[in-house]
């Protein structure tokens, strides 16, 4: 719609002050002639825009002019208010107060009918990012790391590595990633990109030194590369058939589901008795052993045979330890 496009032009010029007609046309996916007509329409409506010719010319908005956002559509307003309902994420980042203030200012510019619909949607959506049977992670260092990323300052970390124990490292922070309820810092240590789980950061001190950031850095692309590398090194998984005591079957499903291999579900196969027989693929073999041993005699592995042998070995070791 043209009204949406005109508002986009104003907002782009508010941020940049001056943009070439060619760049505006590319961003809005219209022709240069359409951009010229839109500029003329805005000027006629009293918006202080004008065009400058020459090598450094372009479309210009008079400095100091600010537009409100009353041009928001109903769906756009609902999208913004629904996002504001993700209070846990903004709270972890230390931005809950500023978010509420910003949404209050936004609400004041909206027509009454849009505001009521948007607030109704926001109050009806709950986002719970915690995994089943898992405590919420301690992300106390997150606001400090957010500030370091924004100001592009180096950070000295006291970090509890899962494989190497407690370490002290000075890193160049590039960005933050929230993945399935867990926060990660993407940063460079001695020039090599790494990921650091925020809940393992015991202390973070922002330094006065500027962080080194590669030209054209794409944090999402770096995260995808780091994640892909980690997944390729994943330990061996295992496909299991197991029969479960009926009254424990639902609990078994809930506990096992977060540990399944990517893209798999728990299948129920025909059984000779009242015990449900389930087929599932665990992402990590040792995790499968932990879940199955925890259910004791309430879960019997039928296949694979070597996993049955491994469970028997672990059970004997456990009995020997506690007897």
Per residue in 187-216, pLDDT tens? 999 999 999 999 999 999 999 999 999 998
Note the pLDDT tens digit of each residue in 285-301: 999 999 999 999 999 99
> What's the CA gap between 113 and 94, in Å, rounded?
31
- Residue 72 above 90 pLDDT? no
CATH number for the domain formed by residue range(s) 238-322: 3.30.70
Report pLDDT for 56: 64
DSSP letters along 92-103, please? HTT-HHHHHHHH
Is residue 245 a contact partner of residue 196, using CB atoms and an 8 Å limit? no
**What's the pLDDT band for 235 if we cut at 50, 70, 90?**
confident
Q: Return the domain boundaries, the chain.
A: 2-61, 74-122, 142-232, 238-322
Average pLDDT score over residue span 227-244: 86
Report pLDDT for 244: 96
182-189 β-sheet, strand order: 192-197, 182-189, 165-179, 153-161, 201-210
Q: In the chain, helix, strand, coil percent, each to 5?
A: 45, 25, 30
**What's the pLDDT band for 276 if we cut at 50, 70, 90?**
very high
Task: Tell which residue, 99, 89, 85, has the closest CA to residue 183.
Answer: 89
Q: In terms of residues, how long is the chain?
A: 323
Average pLDDT score over residue span 164-169: 90
Average pLDDT score over residue span 227-253: 89
- Residue 68 above 80 pLDDT? no
Residues 6+ apart with CB under 8 A from 85: 122, 123, 125, 126, 127
- The overall average pLDDT reported for the chain is 85
Structural fold of domain 2-61: Arc Repressor Mutant, subunit A (1.10.10)
Residues 6+ apart with CB under 8 A from 4: 71, 73
- What pTM, to 2 d.p., does this model score? 0.61
**Better pLDDT: 28 or 223:** 223
Report pLDDT for 243: 95
Note the pLDDT tens digit of each residue in 26-38: 888 888 888 888 8
- Residue 232 above 90 pLDDT? no
- Residue 109 above 80 pLDDT? no
- Residue 107 above 90 pLDDT? no
Q: Which two tokens mark 140?
A: 């106390």
Report pLDDT for 182: 86
Q: How far is CA 299 from CA 65, 129, 168, 261, 268, in A?
A: 69, 29, 44, 20, 14
Which CATH number is correct for 142-232, 3.40.50, 3.30.70, 3.30.590, 2.30.30? 2.30.30
Phi and psi of 266, rounded to 5°? Answer: -80, 120
């Amino acid at each position: 719609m043209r009204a949406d496009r005109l508002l986009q032009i104003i907002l782009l010029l508010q941020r940049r002050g001056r943009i070439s007609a060619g760049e505006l046309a590319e961003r809005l996916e219209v022709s240069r002639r359409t951009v010229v007509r839109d500029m003329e329409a805005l000027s006629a409506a009293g918006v202080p825009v004008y065009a400058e010719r020459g090598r450094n010319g372009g479309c210009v908005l008079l400095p100091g002019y600010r537009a409100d956002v009353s041009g928001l559509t109903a769906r756009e307003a609902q999208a913004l208010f629904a996002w504001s309902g993700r209070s846990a994420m903004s709270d972890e980042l230390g931005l809950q107060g500023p978010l509420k203030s910003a949404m209050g200012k936004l609400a004041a510019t909206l027509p009454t009918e849009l505001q009521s619909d948007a607030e109704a949607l926001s109050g009806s959506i709950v986002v719970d990012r915690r995994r089943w049977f898992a405590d919420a992670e301690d992300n106390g260092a997150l606001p400090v790391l957010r500030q370091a990323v924004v100001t592009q300052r180096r950070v000295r970390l006291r970090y509890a590595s899962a494989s190497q124990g407690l370490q002290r490292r000075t890193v160049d922070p590039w960005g933050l990633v929230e993945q399935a309820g867990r926060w990660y810092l993407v940063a460079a240590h001695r020039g090599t990109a790494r990921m650091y789980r925020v809940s393992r950061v015991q202390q973070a001190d922002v330094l006065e030194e500027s962080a080194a950031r590669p030209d054209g850095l794409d944090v999402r692309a770096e995260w995808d590369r780091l994640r892909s590398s980690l997944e390729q090194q994943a330990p061996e998984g295992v496909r299991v058939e197991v029969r479960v005591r009926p009254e424990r079957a639902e609990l078994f499903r809930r506990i096992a589901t977060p540990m399944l291999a990517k893209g798999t579900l728990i299948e129920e196969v025909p059984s000779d008795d009242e015990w449900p027989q389930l087929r599932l693929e665990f992402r990590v073999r040792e995790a499968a052993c932990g879940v199955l041993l925890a259910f004791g005699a309430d879960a019997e592995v039928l296949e694979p045979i070597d996993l049955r042998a491994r469970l028997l070995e672990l059970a004997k070791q456990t009995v020997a330890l506690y007897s």
